């Protein structure tokens, strides 16, 4: 059986108990814990951003050069191939130095400042797959590409609590008796 620590915290205050102590104490109480997984632990430095403007890339017929605000004084310039974006969309943005999941090989990828067809890109606008968001939470993610939030969130806020990927899943052994 898998237990969400966030869900359990709604009934018992577990905020001051780390994962290892919780699992050890549960095992000592007779509920054997087989292990736990910290969801979203691989995702780092991904924040809420807003697409301010989009222009066609001068050297590409499918790329866009976007100005994206993440709450700082200056917007970031991000080059993307996403076709489901429009100005004023609220989106997850991986900043330079962020860690996301590579869509092709599903391994961790570190985001770097670089150039795409001669244009500087200072981050990446993310899809649900790159953030390892469970598709049952957002069933249309794979079709649409980039994850576009339907609600307003503070620019620069960490996306993990917003997407529900900041929980710990504890796996309990189910005993016959």
Residue labelled with tokens 């976007």: 66
Question: Tell me, what's the pLDDT at 16?
Answer: 92
Stretch 149-177: mean pLDDT, rounded?
Answer: 87
* 146-174 residues labelled b (16+ CB within 10 A) or e (exposed): bbbbeeebebeebbbebbebbbbebebee
Stretch 141-156: mean pLDDT, rounded?
Answer: 80
pTM of the model: 0.79
For residue 137, pLDDT beyond 70: no
Q: What are residue 44's phi and psi, to 5 degrees?
A: -135, 145
Question: CA–CA distance from 76 to each of 93, 121, 126, 148, 162 (Å)?
Answer: 10, 8, 14, 18, 22
Question: Tell me, what's the pLDDT at 177?
Answer: 63
- Report the Cα–Cα distance between both ends of the chain, in Å, rounded: 15
What band does 122 get if pLDDT is binned at 50, 70 and 90?
very high
Question: Are residues 3 and 149 in contact, defined by beta-carbon separation less than 8 angstroms?
Answer: no
Strand partners, 48: 92
Strand partners, 100: 109
Question: Tell me, what's the pLDDT at 144?
Answer: 59
Question: Tell me, what's the pLDDT at 133?
Answer: 78
Stretch 42-59: mean pLDDT, rounded?
Answer: 91
Residues of the chain with pLDDT > 70: what percent?
A: 93
Stretch 71-86: mean pLDDT, rounded?
Answer: 90
């Amino acid at each position: 059986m898998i237990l969400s620590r966030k869900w359990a915290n709604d009934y018992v205050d577990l905020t001051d108990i780390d994962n290892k102590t919780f699992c050890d104490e549960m095992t000592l109480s007779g509920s054997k814990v087989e292990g736990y997984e910290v969801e979203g632990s691989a995702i780092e430095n991904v924040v809420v951003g807003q697409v301010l403007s989009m222009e066609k890339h001068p050297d590409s017929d499918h790329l866009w050069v976007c100005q994206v605000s993440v709450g700082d004084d200056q917007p970031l310039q991000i080059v993307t191939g996403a076709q489901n974006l429009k100005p004023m969309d609220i989106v997850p943005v991986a900043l330079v130095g962020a860690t996301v999941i590579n869509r092709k090989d599903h391994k961790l990828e570190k985001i770097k400042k670089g150039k795409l067809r001669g244009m500087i890109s200072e981050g990446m606008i993310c899809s649900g797959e790159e953030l390892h968001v469970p598709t049952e939470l957002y069933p249309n993610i794979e079709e649409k590409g980039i994850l576009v939030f339907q609600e307003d969130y503070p620019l620069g806020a960490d996306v993990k609590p917003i997407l529900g990927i900041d929980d710990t899943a504890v796996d309990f052994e189910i005993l016959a008796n």
